[in-house]
Structure 1
């Protein structure tokens, strides 16, 4: 018969191996207490792991949509406030134009329109959340160039050139008094001036904005418009009205030609104001759609979290019990190891 040799070293190492295993189990149990889910989801769920991963991916997508909706809501709110301010300016200018006697309109209208034009270009360059809200699909850069600058802006140069091409003189020339009402009407309604404010002319001299407004995905199956482009017709008409009133030398025109000019300005201001109301209504519908989408997203995410919890969730009280039990076993193992270290032949000689 043969007996295997036993050494003090083998006695010492046996509890040490058990302690390492128990410490690993304690780490997993502590992680489960903190996170509330299995430390090793794949091991615990087996073939159902793929379903859990899919649920988590969908939940992450819902979270991303919700965050995107928050950004879109900020952009829409800012845009609505700016459009309302623009509409207020247009209505105030129109009220001043209509309520001022004919012989006093030029002085009042020119300064007021010039100030409103400066305000309009500044408002069109409004930014929110690091993006220009009227930039359309080019939200990373300021959409509109200021009109009254030194040297003259491309837009101002184009207006001056159009006036000179039509009448052979500049707006500040006193001989502009000889311009007939018919000639002024032909200029204001004709292609030379109007083309400066159509889509192509506006983009060439005024705007760097993308023509298409931003469209955002607000739910898993729904998109909506969440911005207004500076190239919108209502904004171009508003700029045209202000340019007519402030930059065509109305003070040098005859009373009859001036009447034609103010009539066109009043018409454009009314059209622009109605267009601004329509833009605000469209954005209001988008805001309502986002609010409803957020309600659905929150409900969907709550349901998914419940399903994920049922699959991956652990009993944290049971995990705490395991930690306590393992901690006790580790302490016992340490005590046993200390006793084994005292075993040597010297103690028995």
Structure 2
């Protein structure tokens, strides 16, 4: 018969190994109490782990859509507020224009239109969330160039050159009194001046914006336009009206020529105001679509969260019971280890 040796060290190490395992189990149970889900989802679900991962990916996709919709809503809200300010300015200018006698309109409009033009440029350079809201697809750079600068901006240079080419003198020259009603009408309606506010020329002298608006996917199956561009026809018409009133309405013009000018300005202001209303309506439809999409996304996210919790969720009360039981076992193990350390031949000698 053979007897194996058993050392005191073996007695000491046996409880220590058990304590390490129990401490690991306690850490996992505490994690489950905090998170409400299995500490090791793969181990707990086995072959169903792939389904749980798929549900979480879909939930993350819905969360990304909601974040994108929030950014789009901020951009749309800012755009709406700016467009309302621009429209109010256009309507106020038109009211001022029609509220004074025809022979005094040019003088009243000149300074007002110059200020409105500067305000228009500043408003179209509004940014929100680090993006220029009227930049179209080019949101990183300010879309509009300032008209009144020194040296002269490309836009003003082009206007001055067109006027000089048509009449052989500058706008402030005393000789403009010789410009007839027909000459002024031909200039304002002709390609030389109108072309300055056509999209091609506008994009080189006035605006650095992209013409196409931004589009956002707002749900799993829906995409809408979520911005307006500074290149929109209504905004170009408004700028043309302000330039006409501030740059061409010299007091030296004949009354007939001034009458033609103010009539064209009034017409453009009216057209621009209608166009701005249309822009606001388009953005309003996008805002409504985003609000409806967010409601659907919230419902879908809630359903997915419930499915995920059914698969991965743990009973926190049961996990707490496990922690208490393991804590008690660890304390017993510590006490046993202390007692084993007392087992020494020295104590009996």
TM-score (norm 1): 0.99
Contact 2:234 2:276 in 1 (8 A): yes
Q: Secondary structure at the match of 1:251?
A: coil
User: Mean Cα displacement is larger for which, 59-68 or 238-247?
Assistant: 59-68
Residue 38 of structure 1 aligns with which residue?
38
Residue 248 of structure 1 aligns with which residue?
248
Residue 206 of structure 1 aligns with which residue?
206
Residue 309 of structure 1 aligns with which residue?
309
Residue 93 of structure 1 aligns with which residue?
93
Residue 218 of structure 1 aligns with which residue?
218
User: Mean Cα displacement is larger for which, 247-256 or 277-286?
Assistant: 247-256
Contact 1:172 1:249 in 2 (8 A): no
Consecutive unaligned residues of structure 1, counting only runs of 5 or more, are none
Residue 129 of structure 1 aligns with which residue?
129
Contact 2:62 2:297 in 1 (8 A): yes
Residue 77 of structure 2 aligns with which residue?
77
Q: Deviations over 1:92-142 (max 9, x none)?
A: 111111121012111111111111111100110111111111011111111
Consecutive unaligned residues of structure 2, counting only runs of 5 or more, are none
Matches within 5 A, 1:53-72: 53-72=53-72
CA distance in 1, matches of 2:251, 2:124: 28
CA distance in 1, matches of 2:109, 2:50: 70
CA distance in 1, matches of 2:304, 2:188: 61
Q: Structure 1 residue 250: deviation in Å?
A: 2.9
CA distance in 2, matches of 1:211, 1:94: 27
Matches within 5 A, 1:4-23: 4-23=4-23
In the alignment, is residue 163 of structure 1 matched against residue 182 of structure 2? no
Q: Secondary structure at the match of 1:94?
A: helix
Q: After the TM superposition, which parts of structure 1 deviate over 4 Å for at least 4 consecutive aligned residues?
A: none
CA distance in 1, matches of 2:110, 2:346: 113
CA distance in 2, matches of 1:199, 1:105: 29
CA distance in 1, matches of 2:276, 2:140: 23
CA distance in 1, matches of 2:283, 2:346: 92
Q: Deviations over 1:35-73 (max 9, x none)?
A: 000000011111111111111111111111111111111
Q: Structure 1 residue 249: deviation in Å?
A: 4.0
Q: Structure 1 residue 346: deviation in Å?
A: 2.1
Matches within 5 A, 1:139-150: 139-150=139-150
Contact 2:69 2:218 in 1 (8 A): yes
- In the comparison of the two structures, how many residue pairs are matched? 349
CA distance in 1, matches of 2:346, 2:208: 94
User: Mean Cα displacement is larger for which, 129-138 or 270-279?
Assistant: 129-138
Q: Structure 1 residue 251: deviation in Å?
A: 1.6
Matches within 5 A, 1:235-274: 235-274=235-274
Q: Deviations over 1:282-310 (max 9, x none)?
A: 01101100110010011010000000000
CA distance in 2, matches of 1:249, 1:151: 22
Q: Structure 1 residue 152: deviation in Å?
A: 0.6
Contact 1:91 1:269 in 2 (8 A): yes
In the alignment, is residue 177 of structure 1 matched against residue 181 of structure 2? no
Give the superposed CA RMSD.
0.8
